[in-house]
Structure 1
């Protein structure tokens, strides 16, 4: 019997276009393996469309809210439909950078200190010594991130009319800037796949650098000391388990190579990593000998087995 998979993509977040690209790749891969696929560009009628389609499992290829923050997960839980990636509680925590710190730091995972600041306060004074980073509390893909430096063009203090995340979000997370190198680790099930170093040509791994071909060099595996690679992979697996992630996750790091292992900081955990041709999880899977279609199929099968185990436990 052919398994029927609905691939949920698009939506209305700032990451819509990336999600559509991820979803197309996933749907094409599943069809190549003989699955029956229904492609769903999420609108406000998504529950009705899924009820009419009657899939046996949903592949969640959404990025950002509401596909990554627990909203869609809660809807699918109520509908009783198995779905890929993390569940409701994990999604609520991981999308929120403050909640993520509160969950992970007590377990010995090193993360930058931080504080929530009102955007209005930035026009009077800096919340931290420069350089520091400002980012929205619950956006992904480096959306709205600003690095405030001594010689930057934001002003001292930040100018009220200067473009930046303070003009779009009432509150922001301020963190010390961790100098050094950008690393990322994908986790699939219980296994860290590899460490990739990201070398953006702009100097900052922002939204455009992530999703525009040629703007970032991916070095996989990262050319770093073995103990740093092992530490990053161990931290990524631990974060995956502490948060309760399912399927695949991706942990992003900064490494100050002048400090050795003490300079390795986890920045955030992405519970809905991209599945585009430029995305890091498929790239790391390929590095260990897993094709894109193998990866997609593995994620679907894990979703089905997790759902069956949860039903058996509840019975």
Structure 2
């Protein structure tokens, strides 16, 4: 086993988002992996006791394992920066950019990555202009099939694939349940993949692409976190050229958004082997069914070693 300094890490998991249960599972997996390398680990919830605990414990590093807004919108990261506490993952500003899907898509497109045609609508504009008129305009300019999804959020919550214009109103209502801004975008068909990006101090390194084949045909919440609901292929069943293009696109998005340490870029590879950017996650799931751990294991990495090395890199970055 590779020797690391005996560090004290606080893993923050839970929170109050829709993804609390997933966060707890990710946090527990990270904690167990680091304990296996001899680290002292405190697993803490994101509640009123967290900041006093950080002041008391004075950990070497914090690993935020919070999914959803509480962990990925930059707020917690901004507080950790204000407290001058080293932490794993992207800084607050970059996390905010990635958390907002329209902004992330715009920055990825500026970096040369293909993105679906889309329109973003706030709930206020949707109501003020009239739902009937807005939906008619969308149907004219964005032909079926479409994807309707919250502009901010994760785990595919509030996402609907629309194959009939009559289903568009219900899809909008569902998405607005999760966010006040909703994206209506072109549905790209092809091979759904996720590419993890890891950076332990040199250049960002893309992991093997993971191909996602849900039994239901839709990679929704249940398909993501219930064993047996989805078949994964690691590496994805892509040509060498398509795999390289996807890896390049993932790294380009990671760099364009100013991310660090770890991210996951979700894409569709179409029939002509073009990767299309869907979204990026500054805190990819780290549960037993999550994609980045699958890619790491398939590449022969030990999860504990990678997590420890990322934490060490966070400490090095803080010292610099």
Is TM > 0.5 for Structure 1 vs Structure 2? yes
CA contact (8 A) 1:84 1:300 kept: yes
Shift of 1:164: 2.1
CA contact (8 A) 1:38 1:53 kept: no
CA contact (8 A) 2:14 2:46 kept: yes
Structure-1 residue corresponding to 2:288 = 277
CA distance in 1, matches of 2:72, 2:145: 30
Question: 1:174/1:24 Cα in 2 relative to 1: closer, same or farther (>3 Å)?
Answer: same
TM-score w.r.t. structure 2 length?
Answer: 0.89
Unaligned runs of 5+ in 2: none
CA contact (8 A) 1:122 1:157 kept: no
Question: 1:301/1:129 Cα in 2 relative to 1: closer, same or farther (>3 Å)?
Answer: same
2:183 paired residue among 149, 156, 173: 173
CA contact (8 A) 2:267 2:279 kept: yes
2:25 paired residue among 12, 17, 21: 21
Q: Deviations over 1:52-109 (max 9, x none)?
A: 2221100111111121111000000011000001001110000001111222211211
Question: 1:122/1:195 Cα in 2 relative to 1: closer, same or farther (>3 Å)?
Answer: farther
CA contact (8 A) 1:132 1:148 kept: yes
1:73 aligns to 2:87 (yes or no): no
Shift of 1:302: 1.4
CA distance in 2, matches of 1:102, 1:305: 31
Q: Within 5 Å, give how 1:261-272 maps onto structure 2.
A: 261=273, 263-272=274-283
CA distance in 2, matches of 1:167, 1:24: 29
- Give SS of 2:71's match: coil
CA contact (8 A) 1:96 1:137 kept: yes
Structure-2 residue corresponding to 1:250 = 264
Structure-2 residue corresponding to 1:95 = 99
1:303 aligns to 2:314 (yes or no): yes
Query: How many corresponding residue pairs?
Result: 302
Structure-2 residue corresponding to 1:44 = 48
CA distance in 1, matches of 2:145, 2:167: 12
Structure-1 residue corresponding to 2:216 = 202
Q: Within 5 Å, give how 1:124-273 maps onto structure 2.
A: 124=133, 125-126=135-136, 127=138, 128-150=142-164, 155=166, 158-159=169-170, 164-189=174-199, 190-257=204-271, 260-261=272-273, 263-273=274-284
CA contact (8 A) 1:123 1:157 kept: no
TM-score w.r.t. structure 1 length?
Answer: 0.91
Unaligned runs of 5+ in 1: 310-315
CA contact (8 A) 1:114 1:175 kept: yes
Q: Within 5 Å, give how 1:288-299 maps onto structure 2.
A: 288-299=299-310
Q: Deviations over 1:292-315 (max 9, x none)?
A: 111211211111111112xxxxxx
